[in-house]
Amino acid sequence: MAGIGDLFRQEIRVINLGLEAFALTLEQLGVPVIHVAWSPPAGGDPRKAALLAALADEEEE
């Protein structure tokens, strides 16, 4: 909760993953934004990507 209230008092700074148009709009409005050149992980296979993500989570823990 405190986190959301804090956000209301901060400058919004955005990392954009996906549609480039969103990053371009924010840039035009002068909002700090960085666009990620994202591409589907694991050769675009959602099942493999989920397995990889789960492995990465385990490593973190």
Partner 1 sequence: MIKRSAYQDSVTLLGLARELRTRNGVLEAAALMGSPANKDLLAQSGLLTTEAAAAGVNDLVIVIRADSAEAAGAALSQAEAFLGARQRRLEGAGRRLPRTLESARRHLPDANLVVISVPGAFAASEARKALSLGLHVMLFSDNVALEDEVALKELARRRGLLLMGPDCGTAILNGVPLGFANAVPRGRVGFVAASGTGLQQVMTLLAARGEGVSQAIGVGGRDMTEQVGGVMTLQALDALGADPTTELIIVVGKPPAPLVRGQVEARLRAMQKPCVMALLGRGVRGRQEGSLATAATLEDASEAAMAMLQGVAWTSRPFSAPPTEIRTHLQAVWKTLAPERRVVRGLYAGGTLAHEAALILEPFLGPVATTLTPESAGRHSVVDLGSDEFTLGRAHPMLDSSLRVQAIHQAAREHDVGVLLLDVVLGHGAAADPAGDVAPAIEAARAEARDRGRGLAVVASVIGTARDPQGREAQVARLGAAGAWVLPSNAQAARAAACIAGGEPVMQSLLGSGGA
Task: Give the span between the Cα atoms of 27 and 24, in whole angstroms.
Answer: 5
Number of residues that bind partner 1 (CB under 8 A): 45
Residues 20-59 that bind partner 1 (CB under 8 A): 20-26, 29, 31-41, 43-46, 49-50, 53, 57
Least separation in angstroms between CB 4 and partner 1 = 4
Cα angle 25-16-8, degrees, rounded to a multiple of 5: 80
Ordered alpha helix ranges (H), 1-61 = 2-8, 20-28, 46-60
- Residue numbers of the site for partner 1 (CB under 8 A)? 1-5, 7-8, 10-26, 29, 31-41, 43-46, 49-50, 53, 57, 60
